[in-house]
Structure 1
Amino acid sequence: MRIAMKRKPLARLVAAAILAFAVPVMSQAETVADTMAAAYQHNGLIEQNRALLRAADEDVAIAVSALKPILNWSADMTYSRGRSFTPGTMAASRSSSGTDATIGLAAELLLYDFGRSKIGIGVQKETVLATRQALVSAEQQVLLRAATAFFEVQRRNEFVRLRQNNVRVISEQLRAARDRFEVGEVTRTDVSLAEARLAGARAALAAAQGQLAQANEEFRAAVGRKPGQLSGLGRVPATAKSVDAAKAVALRNHPEMLKVQHEVTATELAILAAEAGMKPQVKLTGRYGLTQNLDDRGFSNGGSVGVEIGGPIYQGGRLSALARQAMARRDQARAGLHVVRHNIALAVGNAWAGLQVARASRDASERQVRAAREAFRGVREEATLGARTTLDVLDAEQELLDAQTNLASAMVDEHVAAYNLLSAMGYLTAERLNLRVPRYDPAAYYNLVKDAPAKRSRQGQQLDKALRSLGKQ
């Protein structure tokens, strides 16, 4: 039931404000690592899940407080007025009035409850561990979206470049067709074909530019700013040697798998807590009070110390219902673990297949580009000799454009598929990718609050400083 933590001096924790900063260095050309680092630092989803984790940490403190002394004070002022009558006659009576002020202290300490409170602490610790894994899942979502946005901008930029080159090449073909028409080598039909192809190429260029604008907007939404000058695609990240190896890694390390495992443990402990709730409790109690009459300055005081034992006898079936409810939630969590295991294996299998398809497509597209380029050069040379028509040249140029577009898309798809596989394996995190970002230590805040420090204690004051440095107060 322990949560392994690195113990650090509180002063260091406060000075670091929970975050150990590593200043990112941006190169002239932005890489995919730069993009993911920027998204990591500016995405609200990660900050949202960090706040949820801090709230779960506080649940541990709340559970711990049940084993600590409870001290309450109370004060009241009472004015009373009355009249007393002598038996046998209603005529003789005496009135009285007075004002009393009372102040008192009440203390309570739980001595024994059959382990219910300690089990409750264990439940909350498991919940903290599950919430930490939810934070890792959110981190993976953010980084995958940023990487996908980066490569999509690369794809659309390449499409625009290819379309611009297509417009340039067809414009040259149109000029050549017009020149040859002037000397009678081709007919008006050849010129019209080139004009039609040029108009289509310009329309395709406009569409590509619109798609690039949309990709830039997705980049802005995922990263928090517009894309700068992007570097090349770079090397495809290493993943796994086989689909079975990838699945084995995912089932051990994927945050969703670890999260559900902790949830199962928490629900199993919750059953024990519900059963302990049916048993009695032993408490140490103490009281002290002072009462003063404000009319005659008289006062009285007194106190008591005792051991209190009590427990439920009948509560309308509520306790039994809570126990059965805990069992049902345990069964739900176990079934969820089964579902998540199969979903993770499915996601890894799909991502692996997508990566293999992308690699095969990239290899085929490279061969297609080489062949289409040679064919275009040959057709163009033959056209200058009169052996090919203008339509033949335009068709060859279109085939080359399609091949180049397929290759550009396949190369991007290969990178995206690799990052999808890393995410499915649970490896798409800032730590594993070694991103130059502020590192968030989820144990730091937990170590500050796990003992439920009082607000005016030294540790409580250190916690307030840490929260202020995070901008939470």
Structure 2
Amino acid sequence: MKHIVFGAFRRGLLTASVIAVSTVSAKAENLADTLVSAYEHSGLLQQNRALLRAADEDVAQIVSQLRPIINWTADITQSFGERETNNFQSDLDGTNFSGGIELSLLLYDFGETPLQIEAAKETVLATRESLRSVEQQVFFRAIQAYMNVLRNGQFVSVRQNNVRVLQEELRAAGDRFEVGEVTRTDVAQAEARLAEAQSGLSTAEGDYIQAVEEFRAAVGRAPNNLRQPTSLPKLSGDVEAAKLIAVRSHPDMLQVRHQVASADLTLLAAEAAMRPEISLFGALNGTEEIDGSDYSHDGSVGVRVTGPIYRGGLLSSQKRQAQARRDAERGNLHEVRHEVKRTVGNSYAVLEAAQASSRSSREQVRAAQVAFDGVQEEAKLGARTTLDVLDAEQDLLDAKTNLISAETDVYIAAYAVLSSTGQLTADELNLNIQRYDPAAYYNLVKSAPVKLSPQGKKLDKVLEALGKD
């Protein structure tokens, strides 16, 4: 009884899911529609866009070190005690207020700060490429979800049809048993095969529900009457040429190249940190006696040259650390290059295997259909048993499901090839969507605007709009 209730519950879920899929809109949804929704919905993209904006701010923070640094100070001091001078005693009690403004400006540091700025810029460019890589991940997940909903939906349809056929086979076996044409064994075989088919249908329905849930997670909504793609993306048949494209333009390759450049610049900045720096300084100070009339006002301005003599080996350690990190990034570049090439080669191999499997599966379906039709006719003449018919029906079912999987795998593999070469992006796919401009925020903050400046006010509006997303 529990199994019956559970089966009914699952079928109710499937029915509700199919209704939701088919009634959202009468218009069929194609793969491009799904990719647009995934691009607009993805929290992973939003997260990495925010990380990119944080990297943009690193440039602004280092740029600020080349600007005048102005600080103010204020304090109230209560003094007490007494002083004796030439046998003359005086009280030191009093309350004083003092305030001042201090200014400092870096004039020259042998390129340390400019080098840090350039290193931060390279990090920004690397983070942009990381965002492009995440974009590819989001699109590929959506493509897999799209194709798996289609695949599992077709599985359900095929198995539903199989159950209907086996129900007819069972009914016919029962009728023939009644007139003595077959034995009770034939009826039992038909019953067993029907039960097996119903179990397979329940599994297919469960897989379909899971595919719909994965679609919701990847795309942000339920699938809407998905349309079977009619053509594969355009790919180069030359694997070696594809590898060259990937090495030249894949976001993972571009990211690590910028990381190497940033590490080189950071090493140069660490070397420059061991040299002196020249800065301009100035100060205005004032002190007023709150309970009296004494006051003092003074100011100063000058040029200061400072340089390290001994810091316990800190600067030398920082230089060695920067050199080690540069070497690590160069090693990573070597590994990423090989990994990108390997991924391209593997992707093409998987695609070729999937295409070969698809061709074989089509031939298998054709042959299985001919065999099933023949066995059915022979069974009517008494030359075949019920078990022969059921076996032929199962072979046809297996062939059809293999073909569905193979054709789905071809599309997924084709887009995997596109991803392996770095071309699975909104720009390359030419999607009709408002694209995120990774340079827009950087252009607003690169000059380190203050909050009250026109640029700062414009930036506040941008941040407010981002906060509403």
Is 1:190 the counterpart of 2:186? The answer is yes
Q: Deviations for 1:200-258, whole angstroms, at most 9, x for unmatched residues?
A: 11111111111111212211221222222111132121222221122111111111110
Measure the CA separation in 1 of the matches of 2:357 and 2:256: 37
Aligned to 1:325: 321
- Secondary structure of the 1:73 match is strand
Aligned to 1:7: none
Measure the CA separation in 1 of the matches of 2:357 and 2:185: 37
Q: Supply the AA of the counterpart residue of 1:98.
A: G
> Paired residue for 2:447, among 430, 436, 451?
451
Q: Pick which of 212-221 and 355-364 moved more.
A: 212-221
Is 1:415 the counterpart of 2:411? The answer is yes
Measure the CA separation in 1 of the matches of 2:172 and 2:92: 122
Aligned to 1:169: 165
In structure 1, the gaps of 5 or more residues are 1-25
- Secondary structure of the 1:471 match is helix
Aligned to 1:382: 378
- What is the TM-score of this pair, normalised by structure 2? 0.92
Q: Supply the AA of the counterpart residue of 1:309.
A: V
> Paired residue for 2:102, among 92, 102, 106?
106
Shift of 1:441: 0.4
> Paired residue for 1:224, among 207, 220, 226?
220
Is 1:343 the counterpart of 2:339? The answer is yes
Q: Supply the AA of the counterpart residue of 1:58.
A: E
4+ residue runs over 3 A deviation: 85-88
Aligned to 1:241: 237
Aligned to 1:14: none
Aligned to 1:9: none
Written as runs of structure 1 = structure 2, the 5 A alignment for 1:123-134 is 123-134=119-130
Measure the CA separation in 2 of the matches of 1:199 and 1:359: 34
Q: Deviations for 1:40-59, whole angstroms, at most 9, x for unmatched residues?
A: 11111100000000000000
Shift of 1:98: 2.0
- Secondary structure of the 1:302 match is strand
- Secondary structure of the 1:239 match is coil
Measure the CA separation in 2 of the matches of 1:459 and 1:203: 65
Is 1:44 the counterpart of 2:43? The answer is yes
Aligned to 1:16: none
Measure the CA separation in 2 of the matches of 1:287 and 1:94: 31
Measure the CA separation in 1 of the matches of 2:103 and 2:134: 44
Q: Deviations for 1:175-197, whole angstroms, at most 9, x for unmatched residues?
A: 22122222222222211111111
Aligned to 1:362: 358
Q: Supply the AA of the counterpart residue of 1:48.
A: Q
When you count helix as a share of all residues, which structure comes out higher?
2
- Secondary structure of the 1:297 match is coil
Q: Supply the AA of the counterpart residue of 2:342.
A: L
Measure the CA separation in 2 of the matches of 1:168 and 1:340: 53
Written as runs of structure 1 = structure 2, the 5 A alignment for 1:39-438 is 39-85=38-84, 93-438=89-434
| Contact 1:233–1:412, Cα closer than 8 Å, also in 2 | no
Measure the CA separation in 2 of the matches of 1:141 and 1:447: 27
Q: Supply the AA of the counterpart residue of 1:29.
A: A
Aligned to 1:15: none
Residues 389/86 of structure 1: CA separation in 2 closer, same or farther (3 Å cut): closer
Q: Supply the AA of the counterpart residue of 2:127.
A: T
Residues 209/371 of structure 1: CA separation in 2 closer, same or farther (3 Å cut): same
CA RMSD after TM alignment: 1.5
Percent of residue pairs identical:
57
| Contact 1:131–1:259, Cα closer than 8 Å, also in 2 | yes
- Secondary structure of the 1:440 match is coil
Shift of 1:34: 1.6
Q: Deviations for 1:294-328, whole angstroms, at most 9, x for unmatched residues?
A: 22233321211111011000000000000000000
Residues 472/163 of structure 1: CA separation in 2 closer, same or farther (3 Å cut): closer
Q: Supply the AA of the counterpart residue of 2:353.
A: V
